[in-house]
Amino acid sequence: DADVTQTPRNRITKTGKRIMLECSQTKGHDRMYWYRQDPGLGLRLIYYSFDVKDINKGEISDGYSVSRQAQAKFSLSLESAIPNQTALYFCATSDPHGTGKETQYFGPGTRLLVL
């Protein structure tokens, strides 16, 4: 089984609808992240959480909200979806060791289309 899973994998929605993307991990990591990827722009950080009680805005948080329900679960919500939120969304986790060797582990992505 995959260590980081995302649901749904694909989603089509209409402008104005509220949708939630979910991420679960079995790696036991405290840190979780949400990114979006657009063609030609690379991945950009939306929100991140260093533990269950910690939520931080990333580079492009406007129009999004998150919930860290448990160590293993981190959900991303679009309160009122708009077409320019059409993108590929990735969840990631990391486990800080303080050695400079820690990396992030990514889920398979959710492809979202907002009409």
C-beta pairs of 23-28 under 8 Å, 24+ apart in sequence: 23/73, 23/74, 23/75, 23/76, 23/91, 23/107, 24/72, 24/73, 25/72, 25/73, 25/91, 25/93, 25/105, 25/107, 26/1, 26/72, 27/3, 27/93, 27/95, 27/105, 28/71, 28/72, 28/95
Nearer to another protein, 30 or 67 (CB): 30
Chosen residue from 21, 90, 112, 114 binding another protein by CB under 8 A:
90
| Span of 13-21, 68-76, 79-87, 95-103 interacting with another protein by CB under 8 A | 95-103
45 binds another protein (CB under 8 A): yes
Looking at residues 15 to 34 of the shown chain, list those that interact with another protein (rule: CB under 8 A): 31, 33
